[in-house]
């Protein structure tokens, strides 16, 4: 038998639980007031709905050229700083040319030596050809004598041997000339390369634009791209044409199309919106972009580029002689991409639509669970809204929805224009309301004040 103290303790716990249940029940609306739930309602109306995909990203120039040096060495001249306006073919910086000048002189000397050897080989060929002419004349003369048996076989063998040796010497001299010609061509190529390397010690602007990033300083040593990846010296960008690069998830990317309109919010301009159009959509998911580092358990993102229309920020542009631009690379931005618009369609507030599992399906699943041990099919959720009847009760109606914007969702089937649907609170719509639940319609402002 329990002691009096334990009995009192148990009673206090039960009473506390009952009080807590009553408080929660009253707040939820299923205890007190004859099980009436306070709700706000809205009317199903015909509206225009624009589907929007929101994505975050950074502002970048449409055209940005990364400049690296082909040769290695120390920077001895630096003629620009970050933010400077440069023109095409303008000298940007210079790398110490001493080594490359010496190499050029060495290649010039090597070419002169090769040319001299070529002339020597040509002279040797002329000499051998002259000697062979005399040998051939002697060969032709003695051939007739040998045929008439005037000279002996031994004398004819010596004459024939001298003739064949002369022919071989001519071929050798010709090959020597050809070799000397190839050596000259090789020396000319080396000289051209040395001259190019010397020219490359001066870095010129490949395009006109603004120095958006400067990575080096005077006196710094850089590595040329001939040996390896090379040092990135600076970047030149056209800051007059800017774009927003955003990451769109794989769930939304198929709805984005070229030339879709976008409304852009830039953190640097909090009270202003800019217009843009989609110009580029990535075909492959980003494997490690500057915006999002992906891992195996994250949603894949695709980069979408949106050009900021000049007409939307024309008033922010200063005169063309100034280097002040309204946008800077790396600024944060949010883009609302308008993927699809439908006109004059029936719609209700987004929060009016809820997903529920059909009660009949639940009963059948429970019965199957008792009768069989085989795995059950996943539960199918359906879309419902709660329509207000004239007797202050709700009717649970299944609907079929279409696209949605920030506030409203398209209703394709299940409602007619003018139907009053419950729009708040969402906890009641998603959990507490059922078919034939009694309600009391109040203003939305009053509803949330009461909840507080």
pLDDT above 90 (res 356): no
Output phi, psi for 33, to 5 deg.
Answer: 50, 35
Q: Which helix (H) or strand (E) holds 382?
A: strand 381-388
CB atoms within 10 A of CB 405: 19
Read off the pTM.
0.66
How far apart are the C-alpha atoms of 129 and 173, rounded to whole Å? 9
Please state, rounded to an integer, the average pLDDT across all residues of the chain. 84
- Look at the chain and count its residues: 452
Got the DSSP string for 332-355? Answer: EEEEEEEEEEEEEEEEEEGGG-EE
Class level of CATH domain 33-48+346-451: mainly beta
Q: Are the C-beta atoms of residues 249 and 300 closer than 8 Å to each other?
A: yes
pLDDT top residue among 1 and 343: 343
- pLDDT for res 52: 92
Q: Which of 385, 397, 395 lies closest to 439, judged by CA? A: 395
If one counts every other C-beta atom within 10 angstroms of the C-beta of residue 175, the result is: 12
For residue 440, the cross-strand partners are 38
Regarding the domain with residue range 53-61+241-342, which homologous superfamily does it belong to in the CATH classification?
Efflux pump adaptor protein, beta barrel domain (2.40.30.170)
User: Which residues pair with residue 393 across a beta bridge?
Assistant: 438
pLDDT band at 375 (very low <50, low <70, confident <90, very high): low
The gap between the terminal CA atoms of the chain, to the nearest Å, is 46
Residue 100 CB partners (closer than 8 Å, separation 6+): 71, 73, 194, 197, 198, 201
Count of C-beta atoms within a 10 Å radius of residue 374: 8
User: Residue by residue, what is the 3-state secondary structure of 120-150?
Assistant: HHHHHHHHHHHHHHHHHHHHHHHHHHHHCCC
Distance CA 182, CA 227 (A): 27
Helix (H) or strand (E) run with residue 25 in it:
helix 4-28
Tell me phi and psi for residue 97, to 5 degrees: -95, 0
Given 3-state DSSP classes, what are the helix, strand and coil percentages for the chain, each rounded to the nearest 5? 35, 35, 30
Which pLDDT tens digit goes with each residue over 395-450? 999 999 999 988 999 999 999 999 999 998 888 898 888 888 898 888 888 776 64
Non-local CB neighbours of 31 within 8 Å, separated by 6+ positions? 21, 22, 25
Calculate what percentage of the chain has a pLDDT beyond 70.
83
Q: Residue 379 — pLDDT band, cuts 50, 70, 90?
A: low
Task: Say yes or no to pLDDT of 349 above 50.
Answer: yes
Answer yes or no: same fold for 67-96+201-236 and 99-199. no
Fold classification of 67-96+201-236 (topology level): OB fold (Dihydrolipoamide Acetyltransferase, E2P) (2.40.50)
The pLDDT value given to residue 33? 45
CATH class of the region 99-199:
mainly alpha
Q: What is the pLDDT of residues 228-250, one digit of tens each?
A: 677 899 999 998 899 999 999 99
Question: In the structure, what pLDDT confidence band is assigned to residue 325 with cuts at 50, 70 and 90?
Answer: confident
What is the predicted pLDDT for the residue at 47?
93
DSSP state of 376: P
Per-residue pLDDT, averaged over 267-278, amounts to: 93
Which run of H or E residues covers position 93?
A: strand 91-95
Sheet-wide strand order for 91-95: 202-204, 91-95, 73-78, 221-222
Tell me if 337 sits within 8 A of 245, measured CB to CB: no
Return the domain boundaries, the chain: 33-48+346-451, 53-61+241-342, 67-96+201-236, 99-199
CA distance 297 to 151: 102
Under 8 Å CB-to-CB from 53, ≥6 apart: which residues? 248, 252, 255, 256, 336, 337, 339
CA distances in angstroms from 435 to 53, 54, 349, 356, 424, listed in the order given = 34, 35, 20, 12, 16
């Amino acid at each position: 038998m329990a002691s009096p103290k334990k009995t009192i303790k148990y009673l206090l716990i039960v009473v506390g639980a009952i009080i807590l249940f009553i408080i929660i029940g009253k707040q939820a609306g299923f205890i007190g007031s004859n099980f009436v739930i306070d709700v706000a309602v809205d009317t199903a109306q015909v509206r225009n709905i624009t589907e929007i995909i929101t994505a975050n990203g950074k502002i970048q120039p449409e055209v940005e050229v990364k400049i690296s040096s082909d040769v290695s060495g120390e920077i001895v001249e630096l003629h620009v700083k970050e933010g400077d306006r440069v023109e095409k073919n303008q000298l940007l910086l210079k790398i110490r040319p001493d080594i490359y000048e010496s190499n050029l002189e060495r290649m010039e000397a090597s070419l002169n030596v090769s040319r001299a050897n070529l002339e020597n080989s040509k002279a040797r060929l002329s000499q051998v050809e002259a000697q062979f002419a005399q040998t051939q004349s002697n060969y032709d003369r003695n051939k007739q004598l040998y045929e008439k048996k005037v000279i002996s076989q031994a004398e004819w063998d010596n004459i024939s041997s001298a003739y064949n040796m002369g022919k071989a010497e001519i071929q050798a001299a010709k090959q020597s000339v050809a070799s000397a010609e190839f050596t000259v061509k090789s020396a000319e190529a080396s000289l051209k390369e040395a001259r190019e390397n010397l020219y490359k010690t001066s870095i010129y602007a490949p395009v006109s634009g603004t120095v958006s990033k400067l990575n080096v300083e005077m006196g710094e040593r850089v590595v040329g791209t001939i040996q390896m990846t090379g040092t990135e010296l600076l970047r030149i960008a056209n800051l007059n044409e800017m774009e927003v690069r955003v990451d769109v998830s794989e769930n939304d990317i198929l709805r984005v199309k070229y030339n879709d309109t976008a409304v852009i919010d830039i953190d640097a301009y909090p009270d202003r919106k800019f217009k843009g159009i989609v110009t580029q959509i990535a075909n492959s998911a980003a494997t490690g972009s500057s915006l999002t580092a992906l891992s195996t358990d994250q949603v894949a993102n695709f980069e979408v580029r949106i050009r900021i229309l000049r007409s939307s920020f024309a008033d922010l542009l200063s005169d063309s002689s100034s280097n002040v631009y309204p946008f800077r690379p790396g600024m944060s931005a949010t883009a609302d991409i308008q993927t699809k618009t439908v006109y004059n369609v029936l719609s209700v507030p987004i929060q009016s639509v809820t997903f529920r599992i059909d009660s009949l399906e639940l009963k059948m699943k429970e019965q199957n669970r008792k009768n069989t041990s085989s795995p059950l099919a996943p539960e199918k959720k359906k879309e419902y809204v709660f329509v207000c009847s004239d007797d202050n009760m709700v009717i649970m109606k299944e609907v079929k929805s279409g696209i949605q914007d920030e506030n409203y969702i398209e209703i394709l089937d299940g409602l007619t224009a003018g139907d009053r649907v419950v729009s708040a609170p969402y906890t009641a719509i998603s959990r507490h309301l059922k078919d034939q639940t009694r309600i009391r319609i109040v203003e939305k402002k009053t509803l949330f004040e009461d909840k507080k």
